[in-house]
Amino acid sequence: MSAPTGPDTALTEAQRRPLIDADGRRLLQSLLEHDHAPRYNHTCGDRLTAAGLAEVRDLDARTRAATGFRPNEPPAWVTPFVARVMATVPAYRRLGPAPARLEDVPTTGRAELIADPYSFVPDDHPLDDLVVFTTTGTTDGRLAYIPSTPVATAAYAVMLRAALRLHGLTLDGGPGRAAVAQICWQRSTYTYASVSTFLDQAALVKLNLNPTEWRRPDDEVAFLDAIDPEVLTGDPVAFARLADLPVAIRPKALLSTAMALLPGLRDTLQERFGCPAIDVYGMNEAGPVAAALADGSGHALLQPELYVEILDADGRPCAPGERGEITLTGGFNSAFPLLRYRTGDHAALEARGSLPVLVGLEGRAPVPLQSADGRAVNTIDVTVALRRLPLARFTVHQRADRGLEVGLDPGGAAGAVLDPALVAAVESALTELFGAVPVAVAPLAGAPERVTYSSALTPT
């Protein structure tokens, strides 16, 4: 499969980078023309106007001053927030008038988002700066669209700063330096260099460690060493790959996202790079939600205007310290306000002074998949390979012998015989990705599976 195409060529340079200055342009040009630069396949800018930058800075100030909340005690901002979104957001307006208590509002989840994503955008939200992201994080393999804005995108850096503060660290940015390098280990993904106005004209880069994305062998090592990023972000699969490369960088921290960072890999990364490896729990729907504390006793909540409930299977609030499903209200994305949004992830919630902490978090654990020759395969690549096919959902299990067992649901009548052409297309896509491994395909019937991917292989 070729690299993604179709960068946003409709934007002018002034629209893409309204506030970039001379220092930022010099830095961007140096990254684009670097002798060891990757084959960038995307053009990206923060799109922040002066008003947008002011919003991000204000969020940063509010995040630093946040006082937290106690379990089952909604902060004062929740009641007017509920009233506003139930009056202006179609998906929530259908639920009826806003009740007096938050716990009386029906919950929502990914099924509603997938079915009608734009009904989650407020009626009065301007559409001229709307950004739409896709997520492969759904539990049944279906694609979800997330409406967003340039302010919400820039707010990720605010939350990374908050995660670093839990470990006594800072994200400074500044002219002439690379503040954040996002590391990927995928067959194909967008790669680019950009400049952050919020981080004072510092660079943001997204890199794929796949050798096919670089011009010469070892360019990825030389480029990373040359730009010496302040912090790195990525998922555990990418960081495991990075640890095997002879890079000499010494970042302030590694911020691991998208999947749970297991303790064994965390310790390996911390020894290899001489810095904290911080597990950040989040999702495209909400951004970074919580980050692991230095003592490993839980994940502290990051966002000042994101209220977290823990609900039981019947949707009732759990007692403090009792495990249940993480459910979100609020958030920093004005185009996608969350109202009792069930995440599918589980934890207990404790108050430690003014700090709300998720304890025993069970998020999306990395699933060890391997190609025929033993190369790690990211589940994201599998989703990308199969989502182009006419499937309602799918499951993939890898046996200990690296063979794949695939369940397919093309929609329609339960138990229907699979179209041989569809089976052949699935087998071809997976063989191209995994190499010569056995692929067994069978119909997938019944309720949607909680887990799309599973493996009998041992995590590394």
Q: Which among 257, 33, 25 has a CA at the least distance from the CA of 137?
A: 257
Q: In the numeric block, which tokens belong to residue 326?
A: 């993480």
pLDDT recorded at residue 288: 96
pLDDT digits (tens, 9 = 90+) for 98-120: 999 999 999 998 888 888 889 99
Q: For residue 151, how far is the Cα from the chain centroid?
A: 16
| 376 shares a domain with 353 | no
- Rounded CA-CA distance 15/45 in Å is 9
pLDDT at residue 343 above 70? yes
Overall number of domains in the chain: 2
Strand partners, 407: 395, 442
Domain boundary among 362, 383, 405: 362
| 397 shares a domain with 445 | yes
Split at pLDDT 50, 70, 90, the class of 450 is very low
CATH number of the domain bearing residue 147: 3.40.50.12780
Mean of the per-residue pLDDT values for the chain? 89
pLDDT recorded at residue 127: 86
Domain boundary among 362, 393, 426: 362
Asked if residue 297 belongs to a domain, the reply is yes
- Assess contact for 243 and 347: CB atoms under 8 A: no
- Rounded CA-CA distance 86/122 in Å is 9
- Assess contact for 229 and 181: CB atoms under 8 A: yes
pLDDT digits (tens, 9 = 90+) for 363-409: 666 688 899 998 888 877 887 788 778 776 788 999 999 999 998 87
Asked if residue 129 belongs to a domain, the reply is yes
pLDDT at residue 449 above 50? no
Identify which has the larger pLDDT, 5 or 285. Answer: 285
pLDDT at residue 150 above 80? yes
Asked if residue 1 belongs to a domain, the reply is no
| 331 shares a domain with 409 | no
Q: Which among 389, 166, 168, 442 has a CA at the least distance from the CA of 291?
A: 166
Mean pLDDT check: name the lowest of 46-55, 64-73, 127-136, 188-197: 127-136
> In this prediction, what percent of the chain has a pLDDT beyond 70?
92
Asked if residue 7 belongs to a domain, the reply is no
One-letter amino acid for residue 34 of the chain = H
pLDDT at residue 460 above 60? no
Other C-beta atoms lying within 10 Å of the C-beta of residue 446: 9
Q: For residue 130, how far is the Cα from the chain centroid?
A: 18
pLDDT digits (tens, 9 = 90+) for 199-241: 999 999 999 999 999 999 999 999 999 999 999 999 888 998 8
Identify which has the larger pLDDT, 393 or 12. Answer: 12
| 381 shares a domain with 311 | no
Asked if residue 123 belongs to a domain, the reply is yes
Query: How would DSSP label each residue in 346-414?
Result: EEEEEEETTEEEEEEEE------EE-TTS-EE-HHHHHHHHHTSS-SEEEEEE-TTS-EEEEEE-SSST
- Rounded CA-CA distance 21/34 in Å is 20
Asked if residue 5 belongs to a domain, the reply is no
pLDDT recorded at residue 2: 34
pLDDT at residue 23 above 90? yes
pLDDT at residue 3 above 60? no
- Rounded CA-CA distance 50/439 in Å is 53
| 146 shares a domain with 197 | yes
Q: In the numeric block, which tokens belong to residue 155?
A: 């707010």
pLDDT recorded at residue 392: 62
Answer yes or no: pTM beyond 0.75. Answer: yes
Mean pLDDT check: name the lowest of 235-239, 299-303, 340-344: 235-239
Mean pLDDT check: name the lowest of 75-84, 95-104, 154-163, 407-416: 407-416
- Rounded CA-CA distance 163/387 in Å is 33
Kindly tell me the number of DSSP H helices and DSSP E strands found in the chain: 12, 20
> In this prediction, what percent of the chain has a pLDDT beyond 90?
66
- Rounded CA-CA distance 399/402 in Å is 5
Q: What would the mean pLDDT of 37-66 be, rounded to a whole number?
A: 96
| 334 shares a domain with 275 | yes
Other C-beta atoms lying within 10 Å of the C-beta of residue 59: 21
Residue 349 CA: distances (Å) to CA of 316, 346, 364: 14, 10, 18
One-letter amino acid for residue 367 of the chain = V
Split at pLDDT 50, 70, 90, the class of 411 is low
pLDDT digits (tens, 9 = 90+) for 153-184: 999 999 999 999 999 999 999 999 999 999 99
| 93 shares a domain with 234 | yes
Asked if residue 236 belongs to a domain, the reply is yes
pLDDT recorded at residue 120: 94
Domain that holds residue 407: 369-455
Domain boundary among 362, 395, 411: 362
| 53 shares a domain with 171 | yes
| 376 shares a domain with 356 | no
| 402 shares a domain with 355 | no
| 204 shares a domain with 285 | yes
- Assess contact for 198 and 48: CB atoms under 8 A: yes
CATH number of the domain bearing residue 376: 3.30.300.30
Residue 183: burial class (beta carbons within 10 Å; 0-12, 13-18, 19+): buried
| 152 shares a domain with 60 | yes
pLDDT recorded at residue 308: 97
Q: For residue 272, how far is the Cα from the chain centroid?
A: 24
Sheet of 178-184, strands arranged across: 192-196, 202-208, 178-184, 231-234, 253-256, 277-283, 287-292, 299-301, 355-362, 338-352, 324-330, 306-311
One-letter amino acid for residue 23 of the chain = D
Asked if residue 49 belongs to a domain, the reply is yes
- Assess contact for 417 and 441: CB atoms under 8 A: no
